[in-house]
Amino acid sequence: MRIFLSGSIRGGREMLPVYMKVCKLLRQEGHEVLSQHVADPAVEETESVMTEQEIYERDMSLLKKSECMIAEVSIPSIGVGYEVCGALQLGLPVLCLHSPEANVSAMILGNTNTKLIAKEYGNEQELQEIVTSFLSGLENKV
């Protein structure tokens, strides 16, 4: 499955270890992570030589090629929110993950779109179970 992974870049990189774990898990399970740059510790350096328009066009192009989206939403990020909205407009299933202590936007938690699932995880095992369950649910619908 082609997956768009979304996580905060400019809003803060505190969740980078989680992005890396999710990206690794997805690839180990044979999925293609189109937006691997989110889990790259050097993404800010890489993007510093890109224009704002190049970043936007890259991300939106990757989103359009995706079959679903997984977003870590613990850190408030306008970009992640924009990508979630874009994925929903494209009709993509979206899994929004967050830690228990996160102050997640009501625009995510209150969204009644049936394509959006928001789940809290408390540890790496729960994170893995949630991601695996989400993806197996999608694969069973195909």
Question: For 41-79, what is each residue's pLDDT tens digit?
Answer: 999 899 999 999 999 999 999 999 999 999 999 999 999
Task: Give Cβ neighbours of residue 29 (< 8 Å, ≥ 6 apart).
Answer: 132, 135
Which run of H or of E encompasses 21? helix 16-28
**pLDDT over 80 (residue 31):** yes
Q: Does domain 2-141 have CATH number 3.40.50.450?
A: yes
- How much is the average pLDDT of 81-86? 97
Residue 142: the pLDDT is 58
Alpha helices in 29-77 (DSSP H): 43-47, 52-65
Q: Please name the residues in contact with 116: beta carbons below 8 A apart, sequence gap of 6 or more.
A: 84, 88, 94, 96, 108
Give φ, ψ of 66 to 5 degrees: -85, 155
> Which tokens belong to 86?
């874009």
Question: Mean per-residue pLDDT for 7-24?
Answer: 95
Mean pLDDT estimate for the chain: 95
Domain range summary for the chain, segments of one domain joined by +? 2-141
What would the mean pLDDT of 29-42 be, rounded to a whole number? Answer: 96
Joined tokens for residue 62: 């990757």
30: pLDDT strictly greater than 90: yes
